[in-house]
């Protein structure tokens, strides 16, 4: 019920200032926003690449976590970054975005920064184990998937 109020305030702040490497692409309503993120250091995996994040907010935001996924686009070219916790369909396995790890004090900006740092710290050029099977069979929305967060290194 306060999703729009709160998102309006976040949007005002985002229009004023954003951390480097993060930019707002579209926020036409309070249901779905798109953000672009870049990895700033010289990580060869993500060099010169920009990735598109899609935020979907429920009416219970910020009590409930937003649904955050990477999306692909042809123009401008946006791909799914390669990462052991990002499936090739864009779904991100990050405890911050799950019901357990989410906290209402998080916001769009802090989520973007978390994902940015998750990419920055990665050195493995691989997809999660069981990626093909999951991508082929998953019909659930990300928020309904029960992830098991076992990797504490990210």
Partner 1 sequence: MATPTSSSPRRPSSLQADAALQKPQVNLVDLRALEYVDSYDHNLMCAICHSPFVNPVRLECEHVFCQRCVNDAMSHQDRDSRVYSITCPSCRRRIENRAITPVPKILNHILDDLCVKCPLEYLGCPEVKARGDIQDHVNKYCAYAEVKCPSESCLLTVLRKDLDEQRCLHSVMKCEDCESSFMERDLEIHRSRHCEVGKASCPDCNAQVLLRDLVGHIECCPDATFPCNAAEYGCDFVARRETLNEHLKTCPLAKFVPFLRMQNERLEAHEAALKHLRHRNSILETSFSTIQETLSPSTNLIDSPSSSAAGSDTGPFDSTAHHLLCLHESLREEVNRVSAAVSEVDAKASMMVMNESLRIKEDLSHANAAIGNMRMQLHWLMSARLQNQQRVAMIRAQSSGDGLGSSTDAGGSNRSVELPVRRLSDSTRQDTKL
d(CA 52, CA 24): 10
| Residues in contact with partner 1, shown as a per-residue x/- string from 96 to 135 under the rule CB under 8 A | ---xx--xxx-x----------------------------
Question: What would the two tokens of residue 7 be?
Answer: 């998102």
CA distance 123 to 117: 12
In the complex with partner 1, which residue's Cβ is closer, 87 or 102? 102
* Residue in the block written with tokens 């995996």: 45
By C-beta, is 45 or 154 nearer to partner 1? 154
Q: Which two tokens stand for residue 89?
A: 């369909």
Q: Give the total of residues touching partner 1 (CB under 8 A).
A: 16
Instruction: Give the one residue of 10, 53, 55, 127 binding partner 1; rule: CB under 8 A.
Output: 10
Region near partner 1 per CB under 8 A, out of 3-11, 30-38, 41-49, 132-140: 3-11
- Rounded to the nearest 10°, the torsion over CA 43, 45, 134, 96 is 20
Beta-carbon contacts of residue 42 (< 8 Å; ≥ 6 apart): none
Candidate segments 1-9, 23-31, 86-94, 124-132, binder of partner 1 by CB under 8 A: 1-9
Instruction: For residue 144, give the DSSP letter.
Output: G
Residues engaged in binding partner 1 (CB under 8 A): 2, 5-6, 9-10, 60, 62-64, 99-100, 103-105, 107, 146
């Amino acid at each position: 019920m306060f999703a729009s109020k709160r998102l309006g305030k976040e949007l005002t702040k985002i229009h004023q200032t954003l951390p480097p490497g993060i930019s707002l692409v579209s926020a036409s309503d309070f249901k779905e926003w798109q953000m672009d993120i870049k990895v700033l250091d010289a990580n060869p995996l993500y060099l010169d690449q920009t990735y598109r994040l899609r935020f979907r907010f429920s009416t219970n935001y910020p009590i409930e976590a937003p649904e955050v996924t990477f999306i692909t686009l042809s123009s401008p070219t946006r791909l799914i970054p390669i990462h052991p916790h990002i499936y090739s369909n864009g779904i991100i396995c990050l405890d911050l975005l799950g019901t357990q790890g989410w906290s209402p004090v998080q916001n769009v900006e802090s989520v973007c920064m978390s994902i940015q740092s998750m990419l920055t710290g990665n050195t493995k050029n691989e997809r999660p184990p069981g990626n093909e099977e999951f991508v082929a069979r998953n019909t659930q929305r990300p928020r309904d998937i029960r992830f098991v967060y076992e990797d504490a290194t990210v």
